[in-house]
Amino acid sequence: MKYVFLKLSLSALIILQCACASVTTVETTDKDALISREGKNDEAKGSLGFRDGRPFYAKTNLIVEKDGCQTQRYTVYKTDEFHPEAFFITLFTTPYVGLLGVLPLLWITTYEKKYVLNYTCLKRGEK
Amino acid sequence: MTFHRALILLAGMTLPFLTACTTLYSTAPVAIVEPPQNASSTQAPKDNTRVNYGLLPAQNFRIADDVADRPLVVRQNPEMVTGRTWDFGIRKPFSDHLELGISGFPILSTNLSGQLIGMAKYQLLGNTYEKIQQHPFDLAIYSHVIFTEVNLSGNQRRLFGEGGYPWNAESHFQGVSAGISIGKTISRNFYIYSGVAHQQFQIDASVNQSASHDGDYPSASYQIPRSSGTSDNILFGFSFGVRHQINVTYNFSKSKWRDLTADGSGLNVNLLFYEFGKAPQTVEPNK
């Protein structure tokens, strides 16, 4: 039971740091198109930034809409990029908190910092 | 795991940390194997400098146990062991095919010591930035020059002895290596490769002991003559990531020096960071 508070604090810090690090921006090639995240309330025209604290296996579905054009869907994956912060945190905290220290490996991959959604307006009914 | 065990584990990754401060040694990477894709041919930012940090398989040559000892006893049976050494540097593409790099690391616990590595890699076959996925595999040749200098000094008569006996010692390692590697892009962020390399090197050393302050020992100078050796290395590995890459490799090495042979094998981790540019991934609509 020694250092329980310290270990819990460090573990909380590890999870917080890893979860908070996943920030990404998506842009469309058409700046007038509206981007939104499926199942979320956020939307923006041309460019959308969002934060995702879920572990490495998460993915985000994106919807791009424009008046008079077909709605198009895109998917970005959290396995797209290596996440060095999670690697370093694991390396340096495992000796202090034991197995808890490997928790950041759940965030070992992340989104890329920026995505460009290739959007071309297809008129409704057009294939 | 206790804090001290963790510290020892980290320190053990680089052999010089564990060497006594009066032990004369030389340490350097074995023949280095490079991934065949150079920076300009990956899907990371084109013409981008990247920073690398990691561990290299290394060889350590123990020349004298206690250079403070008077008179000096040079090891009649020098030792050679394999291990790991840190590597930190930058590499920059100069065309779609040519990449140059420089790296090194100061050797802690000694004064003004360290290693310096120069690298040139030429990609003969494989993806270029403009023509991605045009070849089924990548092929590159590369060469490294390695300089290591270890400087030691003190004023003792022997290890943990009394003061008043100033001395300094230095060792030099010069090596040149060449190799070839082959790799394949599995997906945008996953790459596998394998390669071999051969290295020729030379080691020399000297010890200078000044006259003791109370005059009971005269000055003396010792030269350890230059000797040659070779090392061979074969490596298998993968890299993951685009803008930040982690290389995980496993190597088998054989070093020969004088009449000694040392075999080494183990896991190496190397990190590459493209910090000076942005290459947003273009995402196509779902089918």
User: So what's the pLDDT on residue B69?
Assistant: 84
| pLDDT score, position B233 | 96
Domain boundaries, chain A: 4-117
Which range marks the domain in which residue B158 is found? Answer: 23-273
Q: Does A87 touch chain B (CB under 8 A)?
A: yes
Residue B107 lies in a domain: yes
Q: Does A72 touch chain B (CB under 8 A)?
A: yes
Chain B hits for A79, CB-CB cut-off 8 Å, are: 189
Q: Which residues contact B274 (CB under 8 A, 6 or more apart)?
A: B39, B44, B45, B48, B49, B50, B243, B244
**Does B4 have pLDDT greater than 50?**
no
Residues B158 and A91: their CA atoms lie apart, in Å, by 38
Distance between CA atoms of residues A29 and B180, nearest Å: 41
Q: Are B231 and B251 in contact (CB under 8 A)?
A: no
Q: What is the nearest CA distance from B246 to chain A, expressed in angstroms?
A: 7
CATH number of the domain to which B201 belongs: 2.40.128
B2 Rama sector, left if φ>0, alpha if ψ -120 to 50, beta otherwise: beta
Of B1, B6, B281, the CB nearest to A80: B281
pLDDT along chain A (127 residues), means of 10: 70 66 86 91 90 88 92 91 82 77 84 89 76
Mean pLDDT of B171-182: 95
CA angle B62, B56, B128 (to 5 degrees): 150
Chain A hits for B186, CB-CB cut-off 8 Å, are none
Q: What is the mean pLDDT of residues B140-144?
A: 96
Is B8 inside a domain boundary?
Answer: no
Per CB-CB distance under 8 Å, the chain A contacts of B284 are 74, 118
Exposed/middle/buried for B181, CB within 10 Å: 0-12, 13-18, 19+? buried
Asked if residue A36 lies in contact with residue A123, where contact means CB atoms within 8 angstroms, the answer is: no
**ipTM associated with this complex:** 0.79
CB-based contact B283:B274 (threshold 8 Å): no
Contacts of B189 in chain A (CB under 8 A): 79-82
B37 is a domain residue: yes
Minimum-distance CB partner of A114 among B5, B280, B284: B280
Write down the pLDDT at residue B91: 85
Q: Express each pLDDT in B48-63 by its tens digit.
A: 778 888 888 999 888 8
pLDDT at B10: 46
How many domains is chain B partitioned into structurally?
1
Which region holds residue B43: left if phi is over 0, alpha if psi is between -120 and 50, else beta? alpha
pLDDT (0 to 100) of residue B244: 82
Mean pLDDT of B174-197: 92
DSSP element (H, E) containing B93: strand B79-93
Would the CB atoms of B282 and A116 count as touching at under 8 Å?
Answer: yes
Note the pLDDT tens digit of each residue in B76-124: 667 888 888 888 888 888 877 888 999 987 766 556 688 899 999 998 8
The B residues from 11 to 40 touching A (CB cutoff 8 Å) are none
pLDDT band (50, 70, 90) for residue B3: very low
DSSP B32: -
